[in-house]
Chains A and B, each alone.
Chain A
Amino acid sequence: GQQVMQIPQYQHVQEGEDFTTYCNSSTTLSNIQWYKQRPGGHPVFLIQLVKSGEVKKQKRLTFQFGEAKKNSSLHITATQTTDVGTYFCAGSGYNFNKFYFGSGTKLNVKP
């Protein structure tokens, strides 16, 4: 079955440092989405990437989708304490309504 692997599992950074999390799929994806879950909260949609090689930015966050549409990354520049949470990627194949989540990267930012 389809699998989405995500690394690292945990990341502790000092405020102001950069952070990156990576996702890899065993199969080609039709699109990939990123979600953020704050401690005690629920996943909240951040962005969706659809095109091969696509790059999108949201303020300090940069999202990339690989050329082969099998991998993706989320990079945060100059982290802030408000960035604390778990970041999940979710890949979707060409069978819509099925989203496979990575295991998540838990980000802790020390002030």
Chain B
Amino acid sequence: ETGVTQTPRHLVMGMTNKKSLKCEQHLGHNAMYWYKQSAKKPLELMFVYSLEERVENNSVPSRFSPECPNSSHLFLHLHTLQPEDSALYLCASSQGGTTNEKLFFGSGTQLSVL
């Protein structure tokens, strides 16, 4: 248990569906992240929120829409996804505000787009 909880663990959706991934951290951290992990590719940084403000949007298609209502919760809203978006989506948190921080990852949501 890392203190970062992601739901659901698995998600299968069609290309016309709308779904949301949820992440919650119980560590008192101020920064939260979405990473995408595909087979044979490095972990790709998608979004970073620091103190609820988005500080990084790493050229992610608009069909992915993040939301950070407070420092403990992070969402990733999905709509009209493509099959190539199938991947493991990992949420992470860190203390925030310093240059040397370690990431605490959730267990991830395994997403399959049909």
Contacts and interface: CB of A to CB of B under 8 A. Distances in A.
A79 B50 CA distance: 39
A72 interface: no
Nearest to A6: B42
Contacts of B35: 101
Nearest to A49: B100
Contacts of A94: 99
Contacts of A30: 99-100
Q: Taking each of A33, A35, A41, A45, which has the highest tally of chain B beta carbons within 10 Å of its own beta carbon?
A: A45
The secondary-structure label for the interface of chain B is loop
Contacts of A88: 42-43
A68 interface: no
User: Interface extent on A, as a size class?
Assistant: 20 to 34
Given A43-B105, A45-B103, A90-B103, A101 B43 contact: yes
Given A31-B100, A44-B105, A45-B103, A97 B41 contact: no
Contacts of B41: 103
A97 B55 contact: yes
B98 A96 contact: yes
A102 interface: yes
